[in-house]
Amino acid sequence: MKAIIDAGDQKAMRGTAQPIDRFLSNQGRFSKADALYRKVSLLNALLIGVIAICSVFVVINIVLF
């Protein structure tokens, strides 16, 4: 049953899902039926957020100091 849901989700990912969803789910390798799906999405978002914020501060540091 899980395999069928996974296959269906992956197909949907490949066909219609947004690029953001694909990015957040490691190119669809973590499907919605996967227990880690939401954690993986949040983790990717957090890493991107940290990179973005830290980069901003790096630029600010360089410019201001």
Partner 1 sequence: MINAAGVAVAFSALIYFRNTDRYEPVAYIAIAALILCQISFYQIVQYQNYGLIWMSMVPPFAYFLLRRKAARIAILLFFGYMLYFILSNMPRWSPAGFNAQAVFNILGASLSQLLMISYYEKTREDVWHELNGTILLMDESRNDLRLILDSSAEAIYGIDKEGNCTFCNRSCLEMLGYSNEKELLGKNMHRQIHHSRDDGSPYPEEDCRIFKAFSLGESAHTEDEVFWRRDGTSFAVEYSSFPKIKNGDIVGAVITFMDISQRKEREAEINYLSFYDALTGLQNRRCFEENRAAIDTRENLPLSVIAADINWLKMTNDIFGHAAGDELIQKASAIFRQVCRPGDIIARIGGDEFVLLLPRTSREGAMEILSEIKSLVAGVRVAAIRCSISAGVSTKTNPSQSLDDVMLDADNGMYMDKTINRKSENRQMLDTVIGDLHTKYPREKQHSAHTQKLCARLGAALKLPANDVSKLEQAAYLHDIGKIVLDRKIMEKDVYSREEISRIMQHPLYGYRILSLFDDTLDIAGYIYSHHEKWDGTGYPKGLVGEQIPLISRIIAVCEAYARVAHTQRLPAEERNPAAIHYIREGAGSQFDPQIADALIQLAGSPEKA
Q: Which residues of this chain interact with partner 1, rule CB under 8 A? A: 1, 26-27, 29-30, 32-33, 36, 38-40, 42-44, 46-48, 50-51, 53-55, 57-58, 61
Task: Using DSSP, state whether 28 is helix, strand or coil.
Answer: coil
Residue 29's nearest CA partner among 43, 16, 42, 14 is 14
Say how many CA atoms lie within 13 Å of 11 toward its Cβ: 6
Of residues 14 and 49, the one with the C-beta less far from partner 1 = 49
Q: How far is the CB of 38 from partner 1 (least distance, A)?
A: 5
Token code pair at residue 56:
């901003």
Which one, 11 or 42, has the nearer CB to partner 1? 42
